[in-house]
Amino acid sequence: MTNPEPLITVDQPALTVDEACSLIQSQMNPVSCINKIEIRSALGRFLAEDIHSKINVPSHTNSAMDGYAINGNDIPLKANAKLNVVCTVLAGQPFTGKINSGECARIMTGGMMPAGTDTVIMQEDVERTNDIITIQACHIKGQNVRQAGEDLAIGQVALHKGQKIMPAELGILASLGLSEVKVQRRLRVAFFSTGDELRSIGETLADGEIYDSNRYSLYGMLSRLGVEIIDMGVIADRKQDIESAFAAAAENADVVITSGGVSVGEADFVKETLDNMGEVKFWKIAMKPGRPLAFGKIKNALFFGLPGNPVAVMVTFYQFVQNALLIMAGARIKPRLQLQLPSSNAFKKAPGRTTFIRGIIENDQNGKMSVRSTGQQGSGILNSMSQANCFIILAHDDGPVNKGDIVNVEPFEGFI
Ligand code: AMP
Ligand code: MG
């Protein structure tokens, strides 16, 4: 038997973050199965169809205020005018007659505008004596009226395939009168931690052992994406255990994610274990933190082997895994919000890799925004992720940063 080729060598060319993202995303296909479900159960799911509006929302032109519906031509050019109140219109109780010039209708918010009217005068702007109102010259024809279809017009695409159903989308589906909606089936993601030094919560730590935290931060990040989660625990660095964990994971899930075991030395061992189960590439990525990454296929499941260090797990998940999973889940990917902010710190940096610094966006006394580092940036300092509300991203070709220089910042937006 020949020795396996070394997988990560010092001079193996590193992939840039962008190259790795493109390579990964080019392999992603959305899951094909679609479920039709009751709209409330669809919260957090991705739409499997465009939703065309079959009705106008609102269905009728109506008043945006409590007041008086009039014909805009009755607004006086100067001084004031008097109009006769001939009826009262409540929301859901339309007036079937017509309002003539010189007349008006008492109307409540949401009430359907009667024939002959196009303008509403707020009740606060009116003087009323018995059934006569006096209005001033300061009003504009068409004011305070909501037009039929101004929210959603018949035939319009109200929601797009791949859109995530959030509270506003639930409301939109309901306003269209839809009780059910087609969504993509949830992605199934299995994950486990590898490492002889790892103990689970509830166990006692012996010398040299640590608690497995990656499985919990991964659980958090995956839960936020709305995928189905299969937590497979901690697997020891033993060939047979790793092999059977991968076999079970690939059997039950669309995607398998592990942490640990992809750095120099350990990667050989994992690779050897995986060789007859699929095709996995071990990459060195020009980034900090999170240099090693494994990506490929095990049986029919896609595989991401993330580094072991707790911050590297979160950074690599955020950069490479999150959008890949969203594409597979059938989501429309939105570009991430980026801010350009002055840095309160100087940073040493040589061109040739992308650096992710845990940062804090803050306002000074005048409300001016800037960003600073959380401090220690070691890839084992998970505390820095907890303090941070953004990544400061120093691009591949960037050199050092001076205090006050403008830097690129990606706010966490609740995803981390
Ligand atoms: P590895 O990539 O397996 O060499 O791990 C790199 C570093 O991350 C080591 O210090 C590990 O102890 C640590 N590490 C690996 N997996 C975990 C985990 N699940 N939870 C916390 N730390 C971990
Ligand atoms: Mg390890």
Average pLDDT over residues 59-82: 98
Q: Which residues surround ligand 2, an ion (CB under 5 A)?
A: 195, 260-261, 308
pLDDT range class, residue 414, cuts 50, 70, 90: low
Q: Which ligand is nearest to the CA of 233?
A: 1
Residue 91 · residue 78 · CB < 8 Å:
no
Residue 25 clears pLDDT 50, i.e. is over it: yes
Residue 3 clears pLDDT 50, i.e. is over it: no
Instruction: Check residue 415 and give its pLDDT.
Output: 58
Q: Which ligand is nearest to the CA of 195?
A: 2
Residues in contact with ligand 1 by the CB-under-6-Å rule are 193, 195, 197-198, 210, 212-215, 259-261, 263, 266, 307-310
Per DSSP, the three-state class of 220 is helix
Rounded CA gap, 33 and 282, in Å?
31
The rounded Å distance from CA 266 to ligand 1 centre is: 11
For ligand 1, atom 3: residue with the closest CA = 260
The rounded Å distance from CA 92 to ligand 1 centre is: 63
Instruction: Check residue 133 and give its pLDDT.
Output: 98
Q: Which residues pair with 347 in a beta bridge?
A: 401
**Any residues with CB less than 8 A from the CB of 285 and at least 6 apart, and which?**
14, 15, 16, 17, 20, 291, 292, 293
The rounded Å distance from CA 23 to ligand 2 centre is: 25
Q: Which ligand is nearest to the CA of 234?
A: 1
Give Dmax (Cα) for the chain.
104
The rounded Å distance from CA 12 to ligand 2 centre is: 21
User: 115: left (phi > 0), else alpha (psi -120 to 50), else beta?
Assistant: beta
pLDDT range class, residue 9, cuts 50, 70, 90: very low
Over residues 372-397, the pLDDT tens digits come to 999 999 999 999 999 999 999 999 99
Instruction: Check residue 276 and give its pLDDT.
Output: 81
| From 8, 191, 259, 273, mutation site for ligand 1 pocket: most ligand atoms within 8 A of C-beta | 259
Residue 49 clears pLDDT 80, i.e. is over it: yes
Domains and CATH numbers, the chain: 17-33+186-328 (3.40.980.10), 36-57+150-184 (3.90.105.10), 62-146 (2.170.190.11), 339-414 (2.40.340.10)
Ligand 1 nearest-atom number relative to CA 292: 2
Rounded CA gap, 40 and 181, in Å?
10
Rounded CA gap, 19 and 339, in Å?
23
Q: Which ligand is nearest to the CA of 263?
A: 1
Residue 2 clears pLDDT 50, i.e. is over it: no
One-letter amino acid for residue 329 of the chain: A
Residue 339 clears pLDDT 50, i.e. is over it: yes
